[in-house]
Structure 1
């Protein structure tokens, strides 16, 4: 994984009106078509995850999505894949592994508004878990995603973060609930099993 520098804690410094953010968005349009991997714009700049997701990662995302959709109302979907979620005024663009969002809010063109998400779920990367446990844990409350869950196939554990509140460093999650694979986990209003989720070899 490589990182191109931004403006540090840049939610205020790197906005859609800044030439820096506009140049990063333009660069990603070119890179997405020519360079493999996943690109995101964070409060620290561009993150490029060069590693293609492995089967345990994708299997976990699919299982979590399916288990959630069995218990959620039909008006919601646990979506995997594109597009990104983007808070352009804040200069952050991310792509969660699973997004709980209403069908209505999926309509239209362009990136999803992060404030329409009910929850974002990440499967921790084996090559760069700090992107999920540190970077996204910082960015998701900044852009207004109310619930963030991490499943970590490295350790067979995870955590659910909620209750955004103000801090001197900006919005952060106030509540963290840890879980171990095999236990039930509650994400927003829905409880699912974590039985039989794969671990990284």
Structure 2
């Protein structure tokens, strides 16, 4: 059996596992090049409040027709065998029509709020996966320490596509995600 066919079968089996486990396990399940990733903890109050405030601030800054969306569906790239569930995605409202996952090439940005249980998922594997998927901007908010980063400018490297611009920030500073600047004031921290 050709390797590509075996990889497609493996990916299909992982997607079926996700469907079967989705409502039975707490937290979030995603697929990366390494396999299924499980962020075991359910989002807590500070996590969800951060998502809400970021989403609202972006929607106030963006023009009509664009949305900051949190929730289902996921973002999937079958050829690269990656399925992610970002905390917030920026996209055109029209691109939300239809069934199935969001196409990564339609996204303007993804935003993640780092979890207690698996911070490397946001700081390492998503930093690798999102440029591979062609998502032009990736913003990370880390309530553990009250800092974050906005990554942009995808360039090819020997290890695959990578973001080449990184702007670190501390909560309280204004930041720009894609074309929109928002405040990071009053974002909660984890206890």
Shared fold (TM-score greater than 0.5)? yes
Alignment of 1:27-176 (within 5 A): 27-176=17-166
Note if contact 2:40-2:117 (Cα within 8 Å) is conserved in structure 1.
no
C-alpha distance in 2 between matches for 1:162 and 1:48? 26
1:40 aligns to what SS in structure 2?
strand
Once the two structures are overlaid, the 10-residue window that deviates more, 15-24 or 102-111, is 15-24
TM-score by length of 1: 0.91
Question: Does structure 2 conserve the Cα–Cα contact (< 8 Å) formed by 1:148 and 1:161?
Answer: yes
Cα deviation, residue 41, structure 1: 0.3
The alpha carbon displacement at 1:69 in A equals 0.4
Structure 1 position 34, deviation (Å): 2.7
Q: 1:20 to 1:102 in 2, by over 3 A?
A: same
Tell me, yes or no, if structure 1 residue 199 matches structure 2 residue 189. Answer: yes
What do the CA deviations read for 1:82-130 (whole angstroms, capped 9, x no partner)?
A: 1100001110000100000111110000000011000000001111111
Distance (Å, rounded) in 2 between the aligned partners of 1:50 and 1:70: 32
Verify the 8 A CA contact 2:75 2:103 in the aligned structure 1: yes
DSSP-derived class of the 2:22 partner: helix
Provide the rounded CA distance (Å) in 2 between the counterparts of 1:48 and 1:14.
25
Q: Distance in 1 between matches of 2:143 and 2:45?
A: 11
Counterpart CA distance in 1 for 2:77 and 2:53 is 28
CA apart distance, 1:49? 1.4
Task: Return the match for 1:187 from 168, 177, 188.
Answer: 177
| Unmatched 5+ stretches in structure 1 | 1-12
Backbone CA RMSD of aligned residues: 1.4
Instruction: Tell me the distance in 1 between the aligned counterparts of 2:6 and 2:21.
Output: 19
Q: Which runs of 5+ in 2 are unaligned?
A: none
1:41 alignment partner, SS class: strand
When normalised by structure 2's length, the TM-score is 0.95
Tell me how far apart the structure 2 counterparts of residues 134 and 126 of structure 1 sit (CA, whole Å): 14
